[in-house]
Amino acid sequence: MRRCQLSAIQSRIYSMNETPELASFLMDAAAGECAAPEAPLDAAPRHGINPAVTLLDVTVAPPNAIHTDGDAERLIRAISEANGLIPEIGFAVMTTLQARLRAAQWRVTCVIALGDGRQAPRVIDLWPVDPARRAYGLALDIGSTTLAAYLCDLMSSEVIANAKMVNPQVSYGADVMSRVSHSMMYPGAHLQMTAAVRDGVRRLTAEVTARCGIEAAEVLDAVVVCNPIMHHLYLGFDPYELGQAPFTFATSKALHVAARDIDLPIHPLAQAYLLPAVGNHVGADAAAVMLCEDLHCSEAMTLVIDIGTNAEFFLGNSKDIVASSSPTGPALEGAEITHGQRAAPGAIERVRIHPLTKEIRFKVIGSELWSDEPDFEASIRGIGVTGICGSGVIEMVAEMRMAGLIDPTGRIGTRDETGCAACFADGRTTSVTLYHCKRHIYVTNNDVREVQMAKAALYASLRLLMDDLGVSSVDRIVLAGAFGSHISVKHAMVLGLIPDCALEHVSAVGNAAGAGACVALMDVEARRQIERAVQHVRNVETATHADFQAYFLSASDIPNAEDRFPSLAARVVLPEVAFGKRSGRKNPDRMRGRQ
Amino acid sequence: MRRCQLSAIQSRIYSMNETPELASFLMDAAAGECAAPEAPLDAAPRHGINPAVTLLDVTVAPPNAIHTDGDAERLIRAISEANGLIPEIGFAVMTTLQARLRAAQWRVTCVIALGDGRQAPRVIDLWPVDPARRAYGLALDIGSTTLAAYLCDLMSSEVIANAKMVNPQVSYGADVMSRVSHSMMYPGAHLQMTAAVRDGVRRLTAEVTARCGIEAAEVLDAVVVCNPIMHHLYLGFDPYELGQAPFTFATSKALHVAARDIDLPIHPLAQAYLLPAVGNHVGADAAAVMLCEDLHCSEAMTLVIDIGTNAEFFLGNSKDIVASSSPTGPALEGAEITHGQRAAPGAIERVRIHPLTKEIRFKVIGSELWSDEPDFEASIRGIGVTGICGSGVIEMVAEMRMAGLIDPTGRIGTRDETGCAACFADGRTTSVTLYHCKRHIYVTNNDVREVQMAKAALYASLRLLMDDLGVSSVDRIVLAGAFGSHISVKHAMVLGLIPDCALEHVSAVGNAAGAGACVALMDVEARRQIERAVQHVRNVETATHADFQAYFLSASDIPNAEDRFPSLAARVVLPEVAFGKRSGRKNPDRMRGRQ
């Protein structure tokens, strides 16, 4: 049921016009083998629309000399008679209550925040009755790199506008751990970062509301999802304790915070709801993904991977759920690669190597053409070919494996060994040229090693979760996050980044965290479900697990030295090649140094 | 029970050093016949100390790698194990929670606002454990003329400091109705008045806390009492509707308001509690008097009169209570009297006329001596005799009646008719000299008429309340308010200002509103009692009542043309005199004109 609503919300999110800043993230969304968002199963949500704020039209009895109670008391009585609620009246409403009731001739629309059982319902505004009035809510996904805002119509459950921007905190550190380090070095620095991210949220909010021509004060509710460190940095909590064992939250529960306490420029009496965290390193964004994917209601053993600078993943079904997280390192995002770069125009994002001719072709962000098509050079005029982004790196290494340019250990064969003209001697190893026109863009064996280590760390953690639940395979894989929707599922599996699974059961849901936030915004029951569900999620510390190193070493092979990939094997035949000295394998010392 | 606590609180309030501004109000407190506050029945309150804020020392379990919940969750668990509460954590507390718990080595004093059933308990601060720490609260009596603040120790139930000042709003109008008129004439003016009174409260609060050497943030709770119009003007509500029929409140219920919403400079997460109003014109100050006087629990038919610029009064016992209010006019405060003035050094505040010699003597504020004592002139050097204040006017008129200088209709006899040398012809009527040295201070027949009208309006309202309850006499009279404690009970009864009653059952309780606020501050159960009690108080509109005029005319006589005063007659014999044409009586037209 939830899934239907979710898909509808997601499809609406995907159909939005993206803001210029984020265009680069989305340019390859249409590309062929890239995992596309699931088609919506149902255009209209079957789930009830059940927001935390309701509008109620009432007629208030005018005062008379006999009944000497106050206007507030008669307003409360009118509300109570209309729907049984006995609300409190927000103080700011009370200050202008009398004039507003009279101006509206005793017929008003009450904006009522329904509370959560611990808080009483509260009238947060009074409007003149107007059939055209709407109620809006704001879902915020506060990521380490990207802030995303979704403006929702709470009455129709529609996402009517969204916007994204780079988290202004990136100037304090590219990833969350560097921001925690920054705050540890400079006392009070976390408050500067808090101010920076809140300012970003303010600008995003202004953008989505302006685009729809609505006032900030018409936005009556907000739901916020973020990882633990962003959670603390957004709320103004010092993230110090999250930077050291035992990685303790200030709070891991769901929170209601007054919008004004976090400088959120929506209705001044509105509240923001923060989803609960799932575990030490798995925050409210993961809870949003769980909510989005109905993990806690599903029979199928489902693996959810949210890949970003940090990867968060959980595995389970309605019976049991385990969660963990792992730093993926920058390689999967294109950094620490000789010609790596962020996804931006000019970055190579798709790569194909012909299995027989070994000819290499690619696509860059900003052009629809493959590099071997006639007008390619013309199509990239002014853009150029500037480097390789994360999805390009993954495809390149996977294609090299499929074309037999590297062996399972990741060693690149020489031009003679592979028969590939792009291979060239580069010191004691071999590198592979992708493009050599105005610039020379190539992949070194060291680049391949970086990718191997990043994917091995991730895979080892996933395997430990599978061990924890006693399963040897998964029924379904869901890739969440912007990155997850831009990588090719097949290539990720060839690389051994994700476990073996029938490809048709692997899907990318894009910003599931954002979609989950939208669901929580539109349905308070979903909030309660997820609050209950996260209490049963067990957090597994994988990096310190005794078996991690062994799994990591096996996973360093492409796809894996130990695990078989039967579903993949039915679709892709990997050449059995071996280059150089077999005893060399990878350099174990160097591997240990990374861990 | 409550009464015991109350008396203890009152006695503490009375024993306080008053601030200079208010010294003039209190200078005659020691004077002989002035009703003194009741002696405390019990020095220590028998009532439980039951404030809305509690301090709780807890030891929080440190985090470990196995239990991954947040610090907030472990803090809540520690509180719950200690006393069963499951509080929320105030957001401002959460922002520094982690550092505070660690700095205190996991042993903290939790400051918990207990909520009221609709609001959950809330941790509003965390302190390092310190055996010397105290919890303070602030009781505020916001009167039209005077602001009073009482700083209370919530743990011992003691009033440890108080301060008073003139309400800065007086620059916008001497009484509440003129302030309402001002706000009606100048849109937004009520907000200026709100700012003025809040600034006064800020200064008072700073004064009482500074005097005790405590920080504003150590004041954890506040209770506010005020009349309906001051209630609106303090909270920032436009008093417009209270200035016209049907005199509708924004709200008449008890209110919890965040201290920061009303600029109250106490703990930033503290709340202020406003007592409920009793009826249209009878506000939270009256509720505080009821609370103070246990009207709702007593068998005795009790009349409470709070005389100020406005008089509020209620009558009843545990079975039934009626309330009303009436503008007393300025005569009882010394204004609109030829030589009337506010209570200040130089004002005549006591008057005695010898029944045989008709010699007049008096006391002025600022001197301990009677005017016929040898050193009197020396004692008033630098002060002088400047006029007659409210209590002086009441005593003068009552003494004139007792000495036979005026007849029951209020007509002053000539020097020949009375044998009093102080009487002198003043146009067509007679005036009476009080003092004729550097200045000539006298009372005209017109002044007497003003007093008659003022007291007649009050008495007529009181009689209508008695009719409403079907009683012809009262068992007990309580005079509340600063004015009530400075008038002579006997003289007030001779004047017919209050109904007949055994003098020993008439008491003045001074600032009962302030004392009631202190009780509500120290005992949340008292708040609930008064909230229930006020629901059963019936408001009686007296000024528009069909019988008002008849009672008013009877009450214009001194003491009364119709009502007998048997208890008074047992103590005081009033001479049977009649001056001038009997047909003249008072001028009925003029009387009607005033009504």
DSSP code string of A468-488: HHT-SS-SEEEEEHHHHTTSB
Q: Is B491 within 8 Å of B401 (Cβ atoms)?
A: no
Going by C-alpha positions, the residue among B198, B206, B209, B203 that lies closest to residue B161 is: B209
Nearest-CA distance from A582 to chain B in Å?
Answer: 41
Asked whether residue B300 carries a pLDDT value surpassing 60, the answer given is yes
Looking at residue A293, its pLDDT comes to 79
Buried b / exposed e across A212-243, counting CB within 10 Å, b at 16+? Answer: eebebbbbbbbbbbbbbbbbbbbbbbbbbbbb
**Nearest Cβ partner for B250 among A64, A94, A541:** A94
CA distance B97 to chain A (A): 7
Q: Which two tokens mark B241?
A: 């509707």
Integer angstrom CA distances of residue A143 from A291, A325, A502, B566: 17, 15, 30, 85
Q: Can you give the CATH number for the domain in which A155 is found?
A: 3.30.420.480
Per CB-CB distance under 8 Å, the chain B contacts of A120 are: 118-119
ipTM here = 0.79
- B155, B194: one domain: yes
Which pLDDT score is estimated for A48?
A: 52
Q: Are A411 and A579 in contact (CB under 8 A)?
A: yes
Pairing of strands A158-166, A146-153: antiparallel
Q: Which residues in A lie closer than 8 A to residue B70 (C-beta atoms)?
A: 248-253, 277
* Cβ contact A165:A200 at 8 Å: yes
Q: Give mean pLDDT, residues B446-452.
A: 94
Mean predicted confidence (pLDDT) in B197-206: 97
Q: Is B35 within a domain?
A: no
* Cβ–Cβ gap A237/B88 under 8 Å: no
What strands, in cross-sheet order, belong to the sheet with B219-226?
B158-166, B146-153, B136-142, B219-226, B271-274, B255-258
- Nearest CB among A72, A73, A245 relative to B65 is that of A245
Rounded CA-CA distance B358/B353 in Å is: 5
What is the 3 state secondary structure string of A409-420?
CCCECCHHHHCC
Q: How far apart are CA B227 and CA B240, in angstroms?
A: 15
Q: Which of A64, A68, A274 to mutate to probe the B interface, most B CBs <10 Å?
A: A68
- Kindly list the residues from chain A whose CB atom is less than 8 angstroms away from the CB atom of residue B61: none
Pick the last residue of a domain from A107, A128, A149.
Answer: A128
Q: Is residue A82 situated within a structural domain?
A: yes
Q: How many CA atoms lie within 13 A of B17 on its CB side?
A: 6
Q: At what angle do helices A524-534 and A512-522 cross, to 10 degrees?
A: 120
Helix (H, G, I), strand (E, B) or coil at A461: helix
For B399-414, what is each residue's pLDDT tens digit? 999 999 999 999 999 9
Are A456 and A582 contained in the same domain?
A: yes
Statement: residue B330 has pLDDT above 60: yes
Which pairs count as long-range contacts for A352-357, CB under 8 Å and 24+ apart, including other chains?
A: A352/A395, A352/A399, A353/A399, A353/A400, A353/A402, A353/A403, A353/A405, A353/A420, A354/A403, A355/A402, A355/A403, A355/A404, A355/A575
List, in sequence order, every residue forming a beta bridge with B426; answer none if it has no partner.
B429
| Any domain includes A3 | no
In this prediction, residue A166 carries a pLDDT of 92
Length of chain B: 595
Could you tell me if B440 and B527 lie in one domain?
no
CB contact at 8 A, B460 and B555? yes
- Pick A250's closest partner by Cβ from B88, B92, B98: B98
pLDDT for res B24? 30
CA distance A79 to A60: 8
Per residue in B141-184, pLDDT (tens digit) is 998 888 999 999 999 889 999 999 999 998 888 778 888 889 88
Q: What pLDDT was estimated at residue B294?
A: 79
- Chain A residue with CA closest to B102: the answer is A241
d(CA B286, CA B295): 11
Q: Which of B254, B246, B342 is nearest to B535 (CA)?
A: B254
> Residue A279 and residue B68: Cβ atoms within 8 Å?
yes
Contacts of B118 in chain A (CB under 8 A): 88, 120
- CA nearest neighbour of A87 among A98, A97, A101, A72: A72
CA-nearest of B230, B376, B434 to B312 is: B230
Task: Give phi and psi for B520, each to the nearest 5.
Answer: -65, -30
**A379 and A471 assigned to the same domain:** no
For residue B333, what is the DSSP state?
G
Question: Are the beta carbons of B326 and B457 closer than 8 angstroms?
Answer: yes
A590 inside domain: yes
pLDDT in the model for residue A11: 47
Shortest Cα–Cα distance, B540 to chain A (Å): 10
* Residue B78 to chain A, least CA–CA distance (Å): 15
Could you tell me how far CA B328 lies from the centroid of its own chain?
14
Would you say how long chain A is, in residues? 595
Contact A245 B98 (CB under 8 A): no
Task: Give the best residue of B75, B98, B252 to mutate against chain A (max A CB count within 10 A).
Answer: B98
Please name which of A164, A94, A99 lies closest in space to residue A124, comparing C-alpha atoms.
A94
Least confident segment among A95-109, A211-225, B78-92, B276-290: B276-290
Could you tell me if residue B177 is inside a domain? yes
Tokens matching residue B406: 């005026």
Q: CB pairs below 8 Å between A and B: how many? A: 129
Q: Using only C-alpha atoms, what is the Rg of chain B? A: 27
CA distance to partner chain B, nearest, from residue A292 (Å): 23
pLDDT at A43: 27
Answer whether residue B47 is part of any domain: no
Instruction: Out of B70, B95, B235, name the one closest to residue A236 (CB).
Output: B95
Question: In chain A, which residues have their Cβ closer than 8 Å to the Cβ of B89?
Answer: 251
Phi, psi of B459 (to 5 degrees): -65, -40
Tell whether B480 and B545 lie within a shared domain: yes
**Among B114, B113, B120, which residue's Cα sits nearest to residue A88?**
B120
- Structural domain ending residue among the three candidates A410, A425, A445: A445
A460 shares its domain with A312: yes
Residue of A nearest to B234 (CA): A95
Are A461 and A323 contained in the same domain?
Answer: yes
Taking only the tens of pLDDT, chain A with its 595 residues reads: 344 444 555 544 443 333 333 223 222 222 223 333 333 322 223 345 789 999 999 999 999 877 678 999 999 999 999 999 999 999 999 999 999 999 999 999 999 999 877 788 999 999 999 988 899 999 999 988 889 999 999 998 899 999 999 999 988 887 788 888 898 889 889 999 999 999 999 999 999 999 999 999 999 999 999 888 899 999 999 999 988 888 899 998 899 999 999 999 999 999 999 998 876 667 677 778 788 777 878 889 999 988 776 788 889 998 889 988 877 767 777 778 899 998 889 999 999 999 999 999 999 999 999 999 999 999 999 999 999 998 899 999 999 999 999 999 999 999 999 999 999 999 999 999 999 988 999 999 999 999 999 999 999 999 999 999 999 999 999 988 777 778 889 999 999 999 999 999 998 887 788 888 999 999 998 898 888 888 888 888 888 889 999 999 999 999 999 999 999 999 999 999 999 864 444 444 444 433 3
CB contact under 8 A, B541 and A118: no
Cβ contacts of B120 on chain A, cutoff 8 Å: 118-119
Q: Do B430 and B464 have their domain in common?
A: no
Say if B229 falls within a structural domain: yes
Q: What is the DSSP string of B447-468?
A: HHHHHHHHHHHHHHHHHHHHHH
- CA proximity to A141, closest of A201, A199, A190: A201
Q: Among B70, B92, B247, select the one facing A248 at the smallest CB separation.
A: B70
CA distance linking residue A73 with residue B252, whole number of Å: 8
The answer to whether residues B325 and B237 belong to one domain is: no
pLDDT at B196: 96
Q: Could you list the residue range(s) of the whole structural domain that residue A367 is in?
A: 333-445
CA distance B371 to A124: 64
Give dist(CA A222, CA A240) in Å, integer. Answer: 27
- Contact across the interface for A252 and B120, Cβ inside 8 Å: no
Q: What is the mean pLDDT of chain B?
A: 85
Establish if A195 belongs to a structural domain. yes
- Tell me, yes or no, whether A326 and A337 share the same domain: no
Using a CB-CB cut-off of 8 Å, the residues of chain B touching A190 are none
CATH number for position B121: 3.10.20.880
Q: Which residue of A has its CA nearest to B94?
A: A250
**Partner-chain residue, chosen from B63, B241, B257, that has the shortest CB–CB distance to A98:** B241
Residue with tokens 């000497």: A68
Number of domains in chain B: 4
Whole-Å CA distances, A530 to A286, A289, A520, A533, B554: 11, 10, 9, 5, 75
Burial of A356 (0-12, 13-18, 19+ CB in 10 A): exposed
One domain for residues B584 and B481? yes
| Of B233, B314, B333, the residue nearest B480 (C-alpha) | B314
Amino acid A37: pLDDT: 35
Interchain contact, A280 vs B253, CB within 8 Å: no
Q: Hey, how many other C-beta atoms are within 10 angstroms of the C-beta on B567?
A: 18
Which residue(s) pair with A321 in the sheet? A316, A537
List Cβ neighbours of A157 (8 Å cut-off, separation of 6 or more). A5, A8, A9, A45, A49, A522
As a whole number, mean pLDDT of residues B224-237 equals: 92
User: Same structural domain for residues A523 and A472?
Assistant: yes
Compare CB distances from A253 to B70, B98, B257 and report the shortest one's residue. B70
Find the helix or strand (DSSP H, E) in which B207 lies: helix B189-212
Q: How far apart are CA B107 and CA B89, in angstroms?
A: 17
Name every chain A residue with its beta carbon within 8 A of the beta carbon of B539: 68
Q: Give the count of beta carbons closer than 10 Å to the beta carbon of residue A9.
A: 28
**Domain end: A245, A274, A303, which one?**
A274
Which residues of A fall within a CB distance of 8 Å from B241?
63, 71, 98
Residues from chain A contacting residue B236 (CB–CB below 8 Å): 95
In which region does residue A158 sit, left (phi positive, over 0), alpha (psi from -120 to 50) or beta (all else)? beta
* pLDDT, position A589: 44
Residues in B closer than 8 angstroms to A537, CB to CB, are none
Question: Across the strands, what pairs with A108?
Answer: A58, A128
